[in-house]
A and B are shown apart, each in its own frame.
Chain A
Amino acid sequence: MTKPEVLKAMLSDPELMEKYGITQEKIDQTSMMPFDNSNMIAVIQSMVNIVGSSTYTNTTAAANLSSFLESRLNK
């Protein structure tokens, strides 16, 4: 699956949509970049990008993802 497809698959999860109030319109509008205002959606975008690049090991990828969210929360 391509990165946009992975992103869409994750955002379309019914439980996630309900908990975070994600609409279908939102899913259609969201692409890989720019990062969404919602932290959850942004984390998903970041994870797809990091893991999809296959550049990092899983541990490094997890650390990068963690830093990404950290920096967003500390803004």
Chain B
Amino acid sequence: MCYYGDNNVLEFTKGLNIVLGANGYGKSKLYDAFQWVFNDQVTNSDPNNKAGYKRTSSLKRELISEKALAEANVGDAVECKVVIEILRSADANSESYRIARAYTCKKTAEDIWAEPNESKLSIYRKDILHYTPISEHENGGVLERLLPTEVRPYVWFQGERGINALIDTSSEESLKNVIKRLSDITQWNDYIVVAQKAFETAKNAFDLQMRTAKRHGERIAKLQTEEAELEREIAKYDRLIEEYKRNLKAAQDKSEQFDVQIENARNMKKLQSEEEHLSRQLRDVIGNIDKAYQNFNKKMFSNYWVLSGTDQLMSNFDKKFTAYNESVAMRRAQENLRRQAEEQLQTRLPDGVPEPIHIQKMIEIEHCLVCDRPAKEGTKEHDAISSLLPKLKPQEETVKSWQYQMLNDLYHNNMAVRDGVSNAQDEIREEIKEITLNQSRMQQLKDELDAKELEIQEQLRLGGSSNPTGIIDSWRITTADIVKYNADIVRDEAIREGKVKQLKNVQSELGQLSKGEIPESYTIKRDIFNDLHALTIRVKDAKYKELILILESKANEHFQKINCETGAFYGKIRFIEISEGGYRPIIIDPGKNDSDITGSLNTSTVSAMKLSIIMAIVSANANRSYTQFYPLIADAPVSDFDPVKTKAFLLESAETFTQSIIIMKEGLVRDEHRQQRYRPEMDKLNELNNELNAKNVPLKVFQIDMPDGISNENRSEITIDIKKILN
């Protein structure tokens, strides 16, 4: 666990110290080093470990560097040692110390180690020049003086878990504990008890004396009985009211859980509705894609897409067919001319024989115009007329008519599909584009659905499966309980108030009756101590409220400085009274009603609130000078913060505490010149340094780095380099 080697030294300055370390580079080990020296324990991040830490007796060999363990031979002793030197400045009225804690184990055989249960703590006090050891029995006292147990958690904390352990916004106990631990409030309890005992003694003496009264004995006895009865009644109502308040608190806590459950159920419903919406969209898109594919296939033929790319062929065919037709027409025309010429040139029919045109006519009408007699086809008259016509050469059939018909049909079909074919490529392109878009949309929806499913799983994990009807029924019952308990409290407080008034009257009358009956001193003593007792209770209450207000004010000072540069809404911290002495921190919108809790805050605002309260706990104790004497050591306090907020927090820590040591990963970026390593963002650090210089606050920055060339696959090879980056 500890760093390998014996030269891992960090010399911190007064002011702000930043230790940068990327994840897995061992920066939290530095925090653990402080914890181990002072508390003999280190952080245990196992969520099942409620304590949150492990002691030396559980860790043993785990404390030691794995590389050192791997290198040890049989018979070697290997040690983990941390030394903290606390140097007091010359003007401080305290001493300098060197505190060392060591744990040693010995390798007795291969894979066998002798591991003691305890570590060794040694403390040295600095005389003028040298450190001399102190005796062991002084150790506890020195550690307590250097960093009191009550203060330690509020100046040394780690990460979100540590912060949440200190300030639990759902519980009133956090602030109660803070006030109790870090103020003098408990001293008032002594005043209250002393005043109460003095009053009881004085009252008993008064009552005893009054029983000896002669003149109004009967009345006095009756009043004393009434007084005792009223006191019993008042005590009874005190108990009842206390119980109602406890029940009310339990019901309110339960109600808040319902708020959480209702919120969870609402979130779940929203997520499920979003999932359904996405599923519907996905189904539609899949449907569109299927339809598009079907249409695509259809359009291959209906829109002549199969002919896509054949425009040129069609054009060529059209040209050729047209040319062919023209050529045929020309040939026909030439043929006609030739026949006409032939007809002209053919042997003229003998005189008296009609012209061929007339013969043709006679054949057609089947009537001889010469003889004016019928010449039906098939008759010899018809044959005689036909024989008069010169036989013409039959025309050559260039293209067989069925072929021509086919080509002609093709030509006309071309005409019909021409436009479709020429548009086909564009249409196909569009269609494919549409399909691709839909496919891409489909994938996107699938990814969104997967993400939504994960969200739902997470919501289930956080909120459990919810039975809305059950929640609402229970919520109704709890709400009714809250109303009932509130009503009970109001009613019984009124009754109690009445009885207190009655008691005062009785006591006043007894006081009147005592005049002349018993020595006045008894009455005076009783009255003075009664007033004294009530006074101590009131003053304690007032002081407590005053401390809460001071804490709230201080917390808001820190909160404002951490958040103001971000430009985002951050509100104000308010401590609301939940029960007697119990306060809870909330954030309000100063522009609205004071008791309106601002909901849906982001985690960084909540973290900033908690950190501000932790800082205020220490800084508000001006009398005790906590910030002067005790350094702030925080590991990963700014994980939720952006760079602006991180810087604001660092500046605020530097101004609040005489010394701060902040261990964090923010401020590191990948080093382009090295493989798998990081470098600090020097421009940001220099900017911070300049601002702190202007306030005369020193800054030191370290980086926990790893030497180049070390493989990060095997923990037993890992070593670290502690580099001084700034100042």
**Interface class of chain B by DSSP:** helix
CA distance A64 to B233 in the complex (A): 31
CA distance A65 to B199 in the complex (A): 10
Contact B528 A43 (CB under 8 A): yes
Contact B194 A58 (CB under 8 A): yes
Interface status of A33 (Cβ within 8 A of chain B)? no
Taking the nearest CB of chain B, how far is it from the CB of A18, in angstroms? 12
Specify which of A16, A19, A51, A63 is in contact with B191 (CB 8 Å cutoff): A51
Interface status of B524 (Cβ within 8 A of chain A)? yes
Chain A residues with Cβ below 8 Å from B521 are 70, 73-74
| Listed A/B pairs (27) with beta-carbon separation below 8 Å | A1-B184, A1-B543, A1-B623, A9-B539, A10-B535, A10-B536, A10-B539, A13-B538, A13-B539, A13-B542, A40-B528, A40-B531, A40-B532, A43-B528, A47-B532, A48-B191, A58-B190, A58-B193, A59-B197, A62-B194, A62-B195, A62-B196, A63-B197, A66-B198, A69-B528, A73-B520, A73-B521
Interface status of B187 (Cβ within 8 A of chain A)? yes
Chain A residues with Cβ below 8 Å from B505 are none
Taking the nearest CB of chain A, how far is it from the CB of B725, in angstroms? 45
CA distance A35 to B524 in the complex (A): 18
Interface status of A61 (Cβ within 8 A of chain B)? yes
Specify which of A13, A51, A70 is in contact with B190 (CB 8 Å cutoff): A51
Residues of chain A in range 34-75 having any CB-CB distance to chain B below 8 Å? 39-40, 43-44, 47-48, 50-51, 58-59, 61-63, 65-66, 69-70, 73-74
CA distance A13 to B193 in the complex (A): 19
**Interface class of chain A by DSSP:** helix
CA distance A10 to B539 in the complex (A): 6
Interface status of B99 (Cβ within 8 A of chain A)? no
Interface status of B42 (Cβ within 8 A of chain A)? no
Q: Digit string of B513-550 for contact with A (CB within 8 Å is 1, else 0)?
A: 00000001100110011011011101100110000000
Chain B residues with Cβ below 8 Å from A44 are 532, 535
Chain B residues with Cβ below 8 Å from A28 are none
Chain A residues with Cβ below 8 Å from B623 are 1
Interface residues of B (CB under 8 A from A): 184, 187, 190-191, 193-198, 201-202, 520-521, 524-525, 528-529, 531-532, 534-536, 538-539, 542-543, 623
Specify which of B190, B202, B536, B539 is in contact with A66 (CB 8 Å cutoff): B202
Contact B532 A58 (CB under 8 A): no
Contact B528 A66 (CB under 8 A): no
CA distance A59 to B597 in the complex (A): 46
Contact B187 A61 (CB under 8 A): no
CA distance A13 to B534 in the complex (A): 11
Chain B residues with Cβ below 8 Å from A1 are 184, 187, 543, 623
CA distance A6 to B538 in the complex (A): 13
Interface status of A25 (Cβ within 8 A of chain B)? no
CA distance A9 to B544 in the complex (A): 12
Contact B201 A63 (CB under 8 A): yes
Chain B residues with Cβ below 8 Å from A43 are 528-529, 532
CA distance A15 to B184 in the complex (A): 23
Contact A47 B194 (CB under 8 A): yes
CA distance A40 to B538 in the complex (A): 16
Chain A residues with Cβ below 8 Å from B542 are 9, 13
Closest A residue to B185 by beta carbon equals A1
CA distance A48 to B535 in the complex (A): 13
CA distance A59 to B543 in the complex (A): 24
